[in-house]
Structure 1
Amino acid sequence: MLPWIQLDTAKIPGGGELRLKRRGSEFSIMLGTNELMNSRLSGSEEALATLAYERIATHKRPHILIGGLGMGFTLRAALAVLPQDAKVTVAELVLAVVDWARGPMAEIYAGSLDDPRVTVHVGDVGALIAKSKGQFDAILLDVDNGPDGLTREANDGLYSHDGLRKSKSALTRGGVLGVWSQGPDPYFTRRLKDCGYGVEEIPVRAGRTGRGKKHVIWMAKA
């Protein structure tokens, strides 16, 4: 079996370090001993985009905010279903991840960052949400392994009552907040309902072929 080769590291603002690794054609992004994402497993990240679009398909000139660039699977899935007059803003906190997308992982991204519908915002997605009022038809969050601020403690605010209310304020009427998680979290479901969202908790397999571990995607309608 081919060995893993570490290609690069990147500091996360506020603490922590990401590691980009490669084994043959397979990529992995690690935080400590936790694998945040792997290029072989993209099914649930893609579903985050497609499930959201199904719920806003009647919106004209939709604008989607994706929190966390990752390996670009959610972005590519969104571009595949969105109309040509749509807009996609991708908020990525770590500049190096954007560099990886245009460098060693460019083949995976398949030119998606150059799509004219896409704008990349390097910065905190929570801060962008807080200053955006009624701007987005969907907000898709995949910045942690779930609603617990794994990558950095500051992300906890995204999933708090206050953070969820800010996301709701940033959505258009009938907009959707989508949140990816490696597993269920009944407390988060309750917080969403407390904030007035209509909540669906959807299990999705990690792999594209319906195999692999079950992840969870919340679709919360404003």
Structure 2
Amino acid sequence: MARFELLGTATIPGKGSQLRLLQRNDEFSIKIAGSTGELMNSRLHGSEDALATLACERIEDIPAPRVLIGGLGMGFTLAAALGALGEAAEVTVAELVPEVEQWNLGPLGSAAGYPLKDARARVHIGDVVQLIKDSPASYDAILLDIDNGPEGLTRKENDWLYTAPGIAAAQAALTPDGILAYWSAGQDPAFTERLKRAGFSVQPVTVRAHRPGKGAKHVIWLAW
């Protein structure tokens, strides 16, 4: 069996941990240096796709929707959002690590079909938290896949988005009929209640990491 080859490394701002991009044939993997587990694998993206499709189907009647995605990753959420939206849509991806954008413009982009080449896609290099704070009533959908869920794995600063003030900030960045969606590696009933206390109607949806119906069970929270 072929071995993974290292294609690139990047430092996570504010944490110092190193991301490692690896490739084996047509399979890509992103890991944190020193960790035995994977952050992402190009063969396991069913739940990333679902994050986009479940949210975007709720704004399909908006003529020119504006969507914010927190986290570029391997580009699958962006690709699914672009596939679900019309030609007048604008999709902004906030990515903290500049090298991740470059990886998606290079060999990694083939995994999701090079969605960054779509004219509707824009990349904001920076913290999605600050972008949300600076964008009142700006987005018809906000899709957040910046970490492992309510319990951050790669960067503790990400946890703020799952707190009451973070939820309120995301709520303020939505248009009146907007939808907020979060990806998580697992269930968290306390987070569901937190969304409800913020005034949202909430639907946690269990999805599989691999299509069709295989792989680990992940969770998408839809809040409107």
What TM bracket, shorter-length normalisation?
over 0.9
- 2: distance between equivalents of 1:147 and 1:89? 22
**TM-score in terms of structure 1 length:** 0.96
Tell which deviates more after alignment, 134-143 or 208-217. Answer: 208-217
* Structure 1 counterpart of 2:11: 11
- 2: distance between equivalents of 1:22 and 1:142? 22
- What per-residue deviation string (whole Å, max 9, x for no partner) do you get for residues 97-133 of structure 1? 0010111213124231121111110000010001100
- Aligned counterpart in structure 1 of residue 91 of structure 2, from 88, 106, 112: 88
Residue-pair matches, total? 221
**Residues 1:144 and 2:147 are matched in the alignment:** yes
- 2: distance between equivalents of 1:178 and 1:9? 29
Amino acid at match of 2:20: R
C-alpha deviation, 1:76, in angstroms = 0.6
* Structure 2 counterpart of 1:24: 25
* Structure 2 counterpart of 1:100: 103
Question: Contact conserved, 2:75 with 2:109, CA < 8 A, in 1?
Answer: no
Amino acid at match of 2:10: A
Percent sequence identity over matched residues?
Answer: 55
- 1: distance between equivalents of 2:110 and 2:122? 19
- What per-residue deviation string (whole Å, max 9, x for no partner) do you get for residues 39-60 of structure 1? 0011110011100012112223
* Structure 2 counterpart of 1:217: 220
**Residues 1:198 and 2:196 are matched in the alignment:** no
Question: Contact conserved, 2:28 with 2:41, CA < 8 A, in 1?
Answer: yes
Amino acid at match of 2:11: K
Where structure 2 has 5 or more consecutive residues not aligned to the other structure, the ranges are: none
* Structure 2 counterpart of 1:51: 54
C-alpha deviation, 1:28, in angstroms = 0.6
Cα RMSD (Å):
1.1
**TM-score in terms of structure 2 length:** 0.95
C-alpha deviation, 1:34, in angstroms = 3.2
Amino acid at match of 1:213: A
Amino acid at match of 2:117: D
- 2: distance between equivalents of 1:181 and 1:34? 16
